[in-house]
Amino acid sequence: MSRIIEVSAALIFRNGKLLITQRHAASHLGGLWEFPGGKREANETFEQCLVREIREELGIEISVGELFEEITHAYEAKTVHLKFFICELISGKPQLLDCAAFKWIGKTELADYKFPAADARLLEKLRDYTFP
């Protein structure tokens, strides 16, 4: 059985747009777009992980709200357990600290970007969600 990696990811909305980030080309699934977040460390909750990761990757402060979706996806070498939370941008403007790019996109633009296979069910749910 492959190892399980626990990941927390943020759905950050602003004026009807959703923040997405692009993975570095040299990383696992390089070049794909994703929802910002990262791997949970043993000593933190999923919510604490998300606050830390967003600060490290984008230099912004968020508050973590409700759990929107939870997905477990098996890749060849590992299994990821993802929790996606609705988050609010509290302060700061996104910066490229640990991602290749970021964009604010509308719901109709989701299909224009290539996301990891693990995000497929979330993307379907987002297509039926009213972006705040």
pLDDT digits (tens, 9 = 90+) for 46-70: 999 999 999 999 999 999 999 999 9
In this predicted structure, what is the pLDDT of residue 77? Answer: 84
Helix H or strand E encompassing 110: none
Higher pLDDT, 21 or 1: 21
**Distance between CA atoms of residues 103 and 59, nearest Å:** 15
In this predicted structure, what is the pLDDT of residue 89? Answer: 97
In this predicted structure, what is the pLDDT of residue 27? Answer: 81
Quick check: 12 and 87 in contact, CB under 8 A? yes
Interval 90-108 mean pLDDT: 96
In this predicted structure, what is the pLDDT of residue 30? Answer: 82
Interval 72-79 mean pLDDT: 90
Interval 35-48 mean pLDDT: 97
CATH architecture of 3-127: Alpha-Beta Complex (3.90)
Q: What is the overall mean pLDDT for the chain?
A: 95
Q: Would you say residue 104 has pLDDT above 60?
A: yes
pLDDT band for position 1 (cuts 50, 70, 90): low
Side-chain half-sphere exposure of 11, counting CA atoms within 13 A: 24
**Distance between CA atoms of residues 29 and 116, nearest Å:** 7
Any idea where the domains of the chain sit in the sequence?
A: 3-127
In this predicted structure, what is the pLDDT of residue 29? Answer: 79
Tokens of 57: 């990757």
